Amino acid sequence: MRITVRSGDSLWAISQWFQVPLVLLVDSNPAVQPQSLQPGQTLDVPGYMPTVYTVQPGDSLWSIAQSQGLPVDALLLANPGVVPASLYAGQPIALPQRVVQPIVRIRDRYDYAAMVEDLGRLSEVYPFLRQRTIGASVMGKPLPEVQIGRGAKRIHVNGSFHANEWITTPLLIRFLNDYLLAVTNQGAIRGLQMGQWYATATLSAVPMVNPDGVDLVVNGLPDEEPYRSEVLAINNGSSDFSLWKANIRGVDLNNQFPAGWEIEAERREQQPAPANYPGAAPLTEPEAQAIAQLTVESDFHRALAFHTQGEVIFWGFESLEPPESAVLVNEFARVSGYLPIQFVDSYAGYKDWFIQQWRRPGFTIEAGRGTNPLPFTQFEEIYQENLGILLASLYM
Give residue 271's identity as a one-letter amino acid code: Q
Tell me which DSSP letter residue 55 carries.
Answer: P
Distance CA 220, CA 236 (A): 15
Distance CA 386, CA 41 (A): 42
Let me know if 145 is a catalytic residue. Answer: no
Asked if residues 47 and 98 have their Cβ atoms less than 8 Å apart, the reply is yes
Burial class (CB in 10 A: 0-12, 13-18, 19+), 23: middle
Distance CA 364, CA 32 (A): 40
> Half-sphere exposure of residue 72, counting CA atoms within 13 Å on the CB side?
8
Q: DSSP letters along 160-219, please?
A: -SSGGGTTHHHHHHHHHHHHHHHHHTT-EETTEEHHHHHHHEEEEEES-S-HHHHHHHHH
Reference 46, options 112, 151, 102, 122; nearest CA is 122
Residues ≥6 apart with Cβ < 8 Å to 83: none
Where are the alpha helices (H) located in 19-149, listed in sequence order?
22-28, 61-68, 72-78, 112-125
Distance CA 178, CA 360 (A): 27
Distance CA 118, CA 114 (A): 6
* Strands 153-159 vs 201-206: parallel, antiparallel or unpaired: parallel
Distance CA 90, CA 58 (A): 11
Q: Is 349 helix (H, G, I), strand (E, B) or coil?
A: coil
C-alpha distance from residue 388 to each of 191, 218, 331 (Å): 11, 28, 9
Q: Quick one: CA torsion of 83, 89, 90, 95, rounded to 10 degrees? A: 50
Asked if residues 227 and 139 have their Cβ atoms less than 8 Å apart, the reply is yes
Residue of 165, 264, 366, 385 marked catalytic: 366
List, by residue number, the catalytic residues: 366
